[in-house]
Amino acid sequence: MIPVFDSFDYFASLFPLLLVLVPLLLVVRSGGVRVALITFAGVYLLALIAPRLALFHLVFWLVVAALQPIVAATGERRSGLPVLAAALGVTLLPVVLWKVWPIEFVVEFNVVTHDLVAWPSTWLEALDYTAPILAPIGLSFGAFRAADVLVRSHLGLIDRLRPGRVLATGLFPPLLVVGPIASYDETEKTLSAPVPLERERLLSGTSQILNGLFKVFVIAYLLDWSVEIFAFYADNAPWRLWVGLIAFTWFFYVNFAGYSDMAIGAGTLLGADLRPNFDRPYQQTTPAAFWNSWHISLTRFLRINVYTPLVAGHPERQYAGTTITMLLIALWHGVSWATLVFGLYHAAFLVGHRVVSQRRPPSTSPMLRVAKAAGIFAWFGASLPLLHLPLDGAVEFYRAMLGVAA
Interface with another protein (CB under 8 A):
1-3, 9, 12-17, 48, 103-104, 106-107, 110-111, 122-123, 125-127, 129-133, 199-200, 203-204, 207-208, 211, 221-223, 225-226, 228-229, 231-232, 235-237, 240, 243-244, 247
Q: Are 133 and 140 in contact (CB under 8 A)?
A: no
* Burial (CB count <10 Å: 0-12, 13-18, 19+), residue 131: middle
Which C-beta is closer to another protein: that of 250 or that of 345? 250
What's the closest the beta carbon of residue 3 comes to another protein, in angstroms? Answer: 5
Q: Please state, in angstroms and rounded to a whole number, the distance separating the CA atoms of residues 194 and 184.
A: 17
Which C-beta is closer to another protein: that of 21 or that of 324? 21
What's the closest the beta carbon of residue 240 comes to another protein, in angstroms? Answer: 5
Q: Please state, in angstroms and rounded to a whole number, the distance separating the CA atoms of residues 34 and 187.
A: 12
Q: What is the CA radius of gyration of the chain?
A: 22
What's the closest the beta carbon of residue 85 comes to another protein, in angstroms? Answer: 32
Q: Please state, in angstroms and rounded to a whole number, the distance separating the CA atoms of residues 381 and 245.
A: 7
What's the closest the beta carbon of residue 253 comes to another protein, in angstroms? Answer: 16
Instruction: Write b or e for each residue in 284-317: b if 16 or more Cβ atoms lie within 10 A of its Cβ, otherwise e.
Output: bbbbebbbebbbbbbbbbbbebbbeeebeeeeee
Which C-beta is closer to another protein: that of 103 or that of 356? 103
Q: Please state, in angstroms and rounded to a whole number, the distance separating the CA atoms of residues 364 and 271.
A: 40
Which C-beta is closer to another protein: that of 208 or that of 249? 208
Which C-beta is closer to another protein: that of 110 or that of 153? 110
What's the closest the beta carbon of residue 287 comes to another protein, in angstroms? Answer: 25
Instruction: Write b or e for each residue in 149-182: b if 16 or more Cβ atoms lie within 10 A of its Cβ, otherwise e.
Output: bbbbbbeeebeebebbbbbbbbbbbbbbbbbbbb
What's the closest the beta carbon of residue 332 comes to another protein, in angstroms? Answer: 21
363 CB neighbour count, 10 Å cutoff = 12
Which C-beta is closer to another protein: that of 78 or that of 199? 199
Contacts of 116 (CB under 8 A, 6+ apart): 52, 55
What's the closest the beta carbon of residue 89 comes to another protein, in angstroms? Answer: 27
Q: Are 68 and 150 in contact (CB under 8 A)?
A: yes
Element (H, E) at 273: none
CA 107 to chain centre: 22
Q: Are 395 and 301 in contact (CB under 8 A)?
A: no
Q: Are 233 and 241 in contact (CB under 8 A)?
A: yes
What's the closest the beta carbon of residue 146 comes to another protein, in angstroms? Answer: 26
Which C-beta is closer to another protein: that of 168 or that of 245? 245
224 CB neighbour count, 10 Å cutoff = 15
Which C-beta is closer to another protein: that of 236 or that of 323? 236
What's the closest the beta carbon of residue 165 comes to another protein, in angstroms? Answer: 25
Which C-beta is closer to another protein: that of 172 or that of 307? 172
